[in-house]
């Protein structure tokens, strides 16, 4: 029986190919890319088909969620396959010894295109190592997160511009904007987009030397070079960089010597036509403690900001994450999470993870609204503690030079109505109060609050300066 399966190696590989495409339709592209694409075909003997999984974590996930299905489909296609076994074997090992010599003569190694997961496993540091200066460059770049890809990035109204800009930079051979400057509040996807650009470029052209690092790391490396009087070597490291990404440059604020060095590196790379991508928590002009000439240099390419999420995007992200994890997330639970946790995506993901962990590990019970509320009780309470509606009213009123009384009054003049709507919007975003609860604080009903939230969401998209004002308010309130 075993011979039947192995002698005709093409058929086993073909079958695996067919199984993969079937699974892709069944589980969706994102889940497929995360969990199933990294699998490679191993050896076959005694009716057992071995499938290689790069890590232990992935193995346990695949075994729990997909092994039965894979076994069933395969058994149907080829009765010689009695069982499917998953073994942990990293791609590094695999590149030389996926199959025993005998197997290898029977089956060609399944050749696959590089995916972030595969590249990750094949030693991310090597990916960025420059052959000449590998000792230095090895530690210059920080590993990329294999989950931070364009495929895993959910696009909505609030981030579509930044997404389009990132894609453009990743896809074009010629430099279109230099630098690309991405900015937003925390947890809204800047780092995700930068990694996605890096993965994309690497996939298109593995020879390009991409360096991704945080501004803090840049600073640390530079200060160390100063200490060891080795700044020439430090500079040298950047010479061969094709794409330089520096995350969170606001951390360079007030660090004058680092800025100067960065300015130098920046200019010489731009002059040589290398791509630079920068992120920060504010627009170039608003960065604090950054020299004027550097600010203007940072802003001279394309500046793209990511706005705070809206409800639709939060729903999209929750559903996409749930799909990726192969979880059934009831609509009501998703709505609850999307409504309550609006501050940033990292927290939204954290909440979802907590709910899933609770349902799977502790009790293996179904995810319900009650259970979600219960599991997140502390988290929601701490959100409430963070900001109160009173505080929001006070800060927003101050900002627009009106009194809190006016804000709560029935006056409809725009000078009062707009700040009121903004305060309602922020109350919805920053607290876990319900619409009626917020309404009561403004002496209005919940439909007015709902209308205000929608209105402000629209305004944010239309009016960049208002969006910045609101974002600044949010930051002060969250501080």
Residues in touch with Mg ion (CB under 5 A): 190-191
The region that residue 396 occupies, defined by phi over 0 for left and psi between -120 and 50 for alpha, beta otherwise, is alpha
Which residues lie closer than 8 Å to 347 by C-beta, 6 or more apart?
187, 341
Nearer to ligand ADP, 192 or 395 (CB): 192
Shortest distance in whole angstroms from residue 338 CB to ligand ADP: 13
User: Mask: binding to ligand ADP, 139-178, rule CB under 6 A, as x and -?
Assistant: ---------x---xxx----x-------------------
User: Mask: binding to ligand ADP, 299-328, rule CB under 6 A, as x and -?
Assistant: ------------------x-----------
Total residues interacting with ligand ADP, rule: CB under 6 A? 17
Of 88-96, 230-238, 291-299, 342-350, the window that binds ligand ADP (rule: CB under 6 A) is: 342-350
Nearer to ligand ADP, 99 or 148 (CB): 148
- Do residues 127 and 118 touch, judged by C-beta distance below 8 A? no
Shortest distance in whole angstroms from residue 239 CB to ligand ADP: 28
Position of minimal CB gap to ligand ADP: 189
Nearer to Mg ion, 190 or 340 (CB): 190
Nearer to Mg ion, 191 or 259 (CB): 191
CA distance 272 to 120: 29
Return the half-sphere exposure (C-beta side, CA atoms, 13 A cut-off) of residue 173: 2
- Do residues 118 and 112 touch, judged by C-beta distance below 8 A? yes
Helix, strand, coil percent content, the chain, rounded in steps of 5:
60, 10, 30
| Preceding peptide of 436 cis, ω within 30° | no
Given Mg ion, ligand ADP, none, residue 349, with its beta carbon under 5 to 8 Å by kind, binds: ligand ADP
CA distance 285 to 299: 8
Among 142, 175, 186, 472, binds ligand ADP (CB under 6 A): 186
Judged by CB under 6 A, does residue 282 bind ligand ADP? no
CA distance 232 to 237: 9
CA distance 84 to 298: 54
Shortest distance in whole angstroms from residue 93 CB to ligand ADP: 29
User: Which residues contribute to the site for ligand ADP (CB under 6 A)?
Assistant: 148, 152-154, 159, 184, 186-192, 317, 345-346, 349
């Amino acid at each position: 029986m075993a011979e039947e399966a192995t002698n005709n190696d093409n058929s086993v590989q073909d079958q695996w190919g067919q199984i993969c495409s079937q699974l892709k339709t069944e589980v969706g592209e994102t889940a497929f890319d995360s969990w199933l694409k990294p699998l490679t075909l191993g050896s076959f003997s005694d009716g057992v088909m071995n499938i290689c999984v790069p890590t232990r974590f992935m193995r346990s996930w695949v075994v729990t969620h997909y092994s039965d299905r894979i076994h069933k489909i395969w058994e149907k296609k080829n009765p010689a396959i009695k069982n499917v076994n998953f073994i942990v074997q990293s791609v590094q090992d695999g590149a030389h010894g996926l199959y025993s010599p005998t197997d290898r003569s029977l089956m060609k190694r399944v050749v696959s295109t590089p995916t972030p997961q595969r590249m990750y496993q094949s030693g991310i540091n090597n990916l960025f190592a420059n052959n000449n200066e590998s000792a230095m460059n090895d530690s210059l770049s920080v590993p990329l997160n294999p989950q931070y890809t364009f495929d895993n990035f959910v696009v909505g109204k609030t981030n579509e511009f930044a997404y389009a800009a990132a894609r453009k930079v990743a896809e074009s051979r010629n430099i279109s904007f230099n630098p690309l400057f991405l900015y937003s509040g925390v947890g809204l996807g800047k780092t995700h987009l930068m990694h996605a650009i890096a993965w994309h470029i690497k996939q298109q052209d593995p020879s390009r030397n991409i360096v991704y690092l945080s501004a803090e790391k840049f600073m640390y490396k530079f200060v160390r070079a100063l200490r060891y009087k080795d700044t020439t070597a430090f500079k040298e490291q950047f010479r061969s960089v094709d794409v330089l990404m520096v995350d969170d440059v606001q951390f360079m604020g007030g660090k004058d010597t680092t800025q100067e060095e960065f300015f130098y590196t920046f200019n010489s790379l731009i002059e040589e036509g290398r791509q630079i991508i920068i992120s920060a928590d504010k627009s170039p002009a608003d960065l604090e403690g950054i020299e004027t000439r550097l600010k203007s240099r940072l802003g001279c390419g394309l500046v793209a900001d990511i706005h705070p999420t809206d409800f639709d995007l939060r729903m999209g992200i929750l559903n996409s994450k749930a799909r990726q994890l192969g979880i059934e997330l009831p609509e009501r639970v998703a709505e609850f999470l999307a409504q309550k946790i609006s501050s940033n995506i990292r927290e939204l993901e954290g909440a979802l993870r907590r709910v899933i962990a609770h349902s799977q590990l502790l009790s293996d019970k179904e995810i319900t609204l009650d259970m979600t509320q219960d599991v997140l009780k502390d988290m929601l309470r701490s959100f409430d503690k963070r900001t109160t509606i009173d505080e929001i009213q006070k800060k927003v009123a101050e900002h627009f030079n009106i009194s809190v009384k006016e804000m709560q009054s029935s006056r409809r003049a725009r000078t009062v109505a707009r700040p009121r709507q903004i305060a309602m919007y922020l109350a919805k975003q920053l607290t876990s109060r319900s619409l009626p609860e917020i309404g009561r604080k403004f002496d209005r009903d919940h439909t007015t609050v709902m209308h205000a939230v929608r209105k402000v969401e629209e305004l944010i998209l239309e009016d960049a300066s208002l969006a910045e004002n609101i974002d600044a308010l949010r930051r002060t309130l969250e501080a």
